Amino acid sequence: MGNKTLWLCALASLAAATLSAQDIAGDWQGTLKTGSQETRHILRIAKREDGGWNAKIFNIDQTQDWGLGIAVSSFTLRVSDLKLTIDHMRVTYQGKVSADGATIAGTWTQGQSQPLELKRAASGTAWRDPSPHSVRFITVNNNVKLEVLDWGGSGRPLVLLTGQGNTAHIFDKFALKLNASYHVYGITRRGYGASSAPGSACEPDCFGDDVLAVVDALKLNRPVLAGHSIAGEELSSVGSRHPEKVSGLIYLEAGYGYAMPVATTIAGEQKSTGIPVPILAIFAVPHAAPPAISNNPAALRAFEAREEASVGGQAKRFETGLPSARVVRLRHADHYVFLSNEADVLREMNAFLSSLSLL
């Protein structure tokens, strides 16, 4: 009897070790309390080629860009004992994988501690992105793969490009307001979300070439590119080097210094290369004031004066550098202007896109 018990214990330990080493990869779902709210989280675990682990946590209830995720700083697994940290958020999670591999019971600590049980996502219970897009991965260069979303639609192709720190999922709701008239795609920039993060430096033309590689792979005929924030780099790179490959460019709070065409030296003088395609640029001037000063008239006036000088000045420089561009200023909009002022942005984009058919 004793030998049988020892044999069963050894078998259980071996099963747990095998599970931990081989089967923990995948999505695990759980719920955390934030004040009076409960928020759903996904822990996505992937095994690296070197045998180590990568993991990300996704908060699917408190973000408009669920695809970004938060990278785990450290992840260790010893038999069935799991520990992870997210250093910049001062998060620690310690848990134990159940013998059947269905759950991880543990404690989440972020200042205070609370229990967090994670359940392995199954086909019937797994959270699914509610957006009706399809997802594919396109290899653009040196085994760099980019996540490409396709929201469908008919008509002129429209490609949405993300700002720094976002994935194409930030456009999930916005894209659905456009796909009745256009075929809408989105690209997640290298280094973010599910796209490859090669680690090597990538200059504006490198990012621009990524976009062109996706356009070629999708066989798109002169799409319109619309970029948010730092995606202005890609817009200007493509528009100045390959204007024949696009029908127009839309800068969504993206027309700042990093997006201005690079000057070249001609006959000893600095001259802008220009961007010979139709352009729409939308600026938030002034930006919406932070809540802390919105009820302080003096502070609000000072804030708006600074905004007019900095952002308003940049909008003016954009107009001067690209005199054929249509520049729109939206007062008190957020940097994520397509979210804070969706109706205004859609109105301007639709008018611009409609005008292209006349060219």
Which residue has 């993300």 as its token pair?
Answer: 162
Q: Let me know how long the chain is.
A: 359
Are residues 230 and 179 both part of a single domain? yes
- Is residue 161 situated within a structural domain? yes
Same domain, 76 and 190: no
Q: State whether 329 and 241 are in the same domain.
A: yes
Task: Look at strands 183-187 and 112-120 and give their pairing.
Answer: unpaired
- Do both 113 and 221 map to the same domain? no
Query: Last residue of a domain, which of 70, 86, 120?
Result: 120
319 three-state secondary structure = helix
Q: What angle do CA 326, 330, 332 make, to 5 degrees?
A: 160
What pLDDT tens digit does each residue of the chain (359 aa) get?
A: 555 554 444 444 444 444 444 478 889 999 998 777 888 899 999 888 788 888 989 887 767 787 778 889 999 999 899 999 999 889 999 999 999 899 999 999 998 999 999 999 877 667 777 788 999 999 998 889 999 999 999 899 999 999 988 999 999 999 999 999 999 999 999 988 889 888 778 888 999 999 999 999 999 999 999 999 999 999 999 999 999 999 999 999 998 765 555 444 334 343 345 789 999 999 999 888 888 888 888 988 898 889 888 888 888 888 888 888 999 999 998 999 999 999 999 999 999 999 996 54
User: 258: part of which helix (H) or strand (E)?
Assistant: none
Residue 276 domain flag: yes
Six-digit token pair at 308? 């007019």
Same domain, 268 and 318: yes
Question: Of the candidates 120, 152, 187, which is a domain's last residue?
Answer: 120
Q: Is the dihedral angle over the CA atoms 162, 178, 172, 64 positive or is it negative?
A: positive
Residue (of 252, 85, 286) closest to 166 by Cα position? 252
Q: Is there a contact between 91 and 74 (Cβ–Cβ < 8 Å)?
A: no
User: Domain containing 63 — which CATH number?
Assistant: 2.40.128.120
Number of domains making up the chain = 2
- Among 97, 120, 143, give the residue marking a domain's end: 120
Contact 274, 322 (CB under 8 A): yes
Give the C-alpha separation, 277 to 261, whole Å. Answer: 13
151 plus 113 within the same structural domain: no
Max Cα distance, the chain (Å): 96
Q: Clarify whether residues 339 and 258 are in a common domain.
A: yes
| The two three-digit tokens of residue 233, written as one number | 């780099």
80 and 223 together in one domain: no
Residue 234 belongs to a domain? yes
- Looking up residue 191, the CATH number of its domain turns out to be 3.40.50.1820
- Whether 346 and 208 map to the same domain: the answer is yes
Which residue stretches of the chain are H helix? 2-18, 172-175, 204-218, 232-241, 297-321, 337-340, 342-356
Q: Determine, yes or no, domain membership for 129.
A: no
With respect to residue 6, please indicate whether it lies within any of the assigned structural domains. Answer: no
Instruction: Count the Cβ atoms, other than its own, within 10 Å of residue 4.
Output: 8
Q: Clarify whether residues 177 and 279 are in a common domain.
A: yes
Of 232, 193, 192, 235, which is closest to residue 211 (Cα–Cα)? 235
Task: Mention every residue, 6+ apart, whose C-beta is less than 8 A from residue 310.
Answer: none
DSSP string, 188-244: PPTTSTTS----S---HHHHHHHHHHHHHHHT-SSPEEEEEGGGHHHHHHHHHH-GG
pLDDT at 261: 53
Q: Is residue 222 part of a domain?
A: yes
Same-domain pairing of 165 and 44 = no
d(CA 330, CA 344): 8
Amino acid letter, residue 233: E
Residue 275 falls inside a structural domain: yes
**Residues 290, 154: one domain?**
yes
Domain with 177, as residue range(s), is 134-356
Residue 243 belongs to some domain of the structure: yes
- Are 138 and 214 in contact by the 8 Å Cβ rule? The answer is yes
